[in-house]
């Protein structure tokens, strides 16, 4: 089952696309896990979780006793001894929330030192992401910030497709170029663009022209319904049928490029 990482500049629509694709795959009968790997993540809201449900979806990085139990060290300790291969296989089922057929998991922020730090919470998150990427029967969609921090050299190859979301503008396309470099460096195989907030054929042509060789997998239209969904705290796939239809086409295109 496909393992897909979604990245791109801030505000381009990564979370929106994660919610749409996860829902599409779940509707197609797949066992889907959507992972919020953005430290400032709000994936739950894009699924229409109420504030109360969203609050129940606690970030793994903030589960101090779990981190201690699994790594043998308190979160926040840098250097010192901790397990680099903690047990994680039960975490996805125990600490996620299933909504609209999709399992949601929130990774949270590693305090101090960022995602690259040598600390127990980071070791746990890395082991968890690696474990999930290697699960054959589950479809995985990773909502990431503009970077590759949660993927190590060892696991990047397990990602079937790396989707960089862009808007029809030079700034997000510039960020896409930078992300592409980082992703290629750690061994990501397929890197493609998805254009979002497309208002016209010219917008799409602009992205193709400026893509610097990155293939354009598909486009999502700009729609007032997506804005309204965010304003109302409602699921984007319920509120914006044109977005859902576009996500169906993107899922079809993904099926043709991922094994
Ligand atoms: N196709 C679209 N048409 C109109 N508005 C959109 C569209 N896609 C996303 N938006 C709006 O743009 C905003 C940012 O979208 P989203 O949160 O998905 O982006 P993001 O890349 O995840 O942002 P962040 O970097 O903050 O995590 C939201 O208010 C969302 O509703
Ligand atoms: Mg987001």
Q: What is the pLDDT of residue 126?
A: 87
pTM of the shown model? 0.94
User: Which one of 22-26, 57-61, 116-120 scores highest in mean pLDDT?
Assistant: 22-26
Q: How far is residue 111 from each of residues 118, 139, 147, measured CA to CA in Å?
A: 11, 29, 17
Is the pLDDT score of 114 beyond 80?
no
Q: Tell me which of 85 and 145 has the higher pLDDT.
A: 85
Q: What is the pLDDT of residue 109?
A: 75
How many CB atoms are closer than 10 A to CB 193? 25
For residues 13-31, average pLDDT? 97
Q: What is the pLDDT of residue 79?
A: 66
User: What is the Å distance from ligand 1's center to 230 Cα?
Assistant: 8
Average per-residue pLDDT for the chain = 91
Q: Are 166 and 218 in contact (CB under 8 A)?
A: no
Atom 9 (ligand 1): residue with closest C-alpha? 13
User: What is the Å distance from ligand 1's center to 178 Cα?
Assistant: 20
Ligand 1 closest atom vs CA 40: 27
- Residues lining ligand 1, judged by CB closer than 6 Å? 8, 10-16, 38, 196-197, 220-223, 226-227, 230, 243
Ligand 1 closest atom vs CA 221: 1
Instruction: Tell me the per-residue pLDDT of 137-187, one tens digit each, with 9 for 90 and over.
Output: 999 999 988 767 667 677 788 899 999 999 999 999 999 999 999 888 888
Q: How far is residue 150 from each of residues 128, 165, 256, measured CA to CA in Å?
A: 10, 17, 26
CA distance 31 to 86: 24
For residues 83-104, average pLDDT? 94
Phi-psi region of 27 (alpha: psi -120 to 50; beta: other; left: phi over 0): alpha
Q: What percent of the chain lies above the pLDDT cut of 70? A: 93
Atom 14 (ligand 1): residue with closest C-alpha? 11
- What the block records as the tokens of 7 is 């990245």
Is the pLDDT score of 107 beyond 80?
yes
Query: What string of DSSP letters covers 148-206?
Result: -TT--HHHHTT-SEEEEEE-SSHHHHHHHHHHHHHHHHTT---EEEEEEEE-SHHHHHH
Q: Which ligand is nearest to the CA of 10?
A: 1
- What the block records as the tokens of 254 is 């993904």
Q: Are 236 and 243 in contact (CB under 8 A)?
A: yes
CA distance 206 to 215: 13
Give domain 3-257's CATH superfamily: P-loop containing nucleotide triphosphate hydrolases (3.40.50.300)
Q: How far is residue 249 from each of residues 25, 97, 158, 243, measured CA to CA in Å?
A: 12, 27, 23, 10
User: What is the Å distance from ligand 2's center to 8 Cα?
Assistant: 9
Q: What is the pLDDT of residue 63?
A: 92
For residues 117-123, average pLDDT? 80
Instruction: Tell me the per-residue pLDDT of 214-226, one tens digit each, with 9 for 90 and over.
Output: 999 999 999 999 9
Q: How far is residue 215 from each of residues 81, 112, 133, 258, measured CA to CA in Å?
A: 44, 36, 24, 14
Atom 11 (ligand 1): residue with closest C-alpha? 227
Torsion, CA 237, CA 239, CA 245, CA 250, rounded to 10: -40
């Amino acid at each position: 089952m496909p393992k897909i990482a979604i990245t791109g500049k801030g505000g381009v629509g990564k979370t929106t696309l994660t919610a749409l694709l996860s829902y599409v795959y779940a509707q197609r009968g797949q066992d889907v896990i959507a992972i919020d790997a953005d430290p400032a993540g709000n994936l739950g809201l894009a699924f229409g979780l109420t504030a109360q449900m969203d609050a129940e979806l606690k970030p793994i990085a903030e589960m101090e006793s779990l981190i201690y139990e699994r790594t043998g060290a308190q979160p926040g300790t840098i250097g010192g001894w901790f397990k680099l291969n903690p047990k994680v296989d039960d975490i996805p089922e125990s600490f996620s929330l299933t909504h609209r057929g999709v399992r949601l998991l929130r990774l949270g922020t590693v305090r101090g030192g960022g995602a690259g730090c040598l600390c127990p919470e980071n070791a746990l998150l890395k082991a968890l992401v690696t474990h999930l990427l290697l699960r054959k029967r589950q479809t995985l969609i990773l909502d990431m910030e503009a970077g590759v921090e949660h993927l190590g050299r060892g696991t990047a190859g397990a990602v079937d497709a790396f989707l960089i979301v862009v808007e029809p503008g030079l700034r997000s396309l510039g960020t896409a170029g930078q992300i592409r470099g980082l992703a290629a460096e750690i061994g990501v195989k397929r890197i493609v663009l998805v254009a979002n907030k497309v208002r016209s054929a010219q917008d799409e042509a602009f992205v193709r022209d400026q893509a610097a060789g990155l293939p354009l997998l598909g486009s999502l239209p700009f729609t007032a319904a997506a804005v309204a969904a965010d304003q109302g705290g409602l699921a984007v796939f319920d509120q914006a049928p044109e977005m859902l239809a576009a996500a169906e086409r993107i899922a079809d295109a993904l099926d043709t490029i991922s094994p």
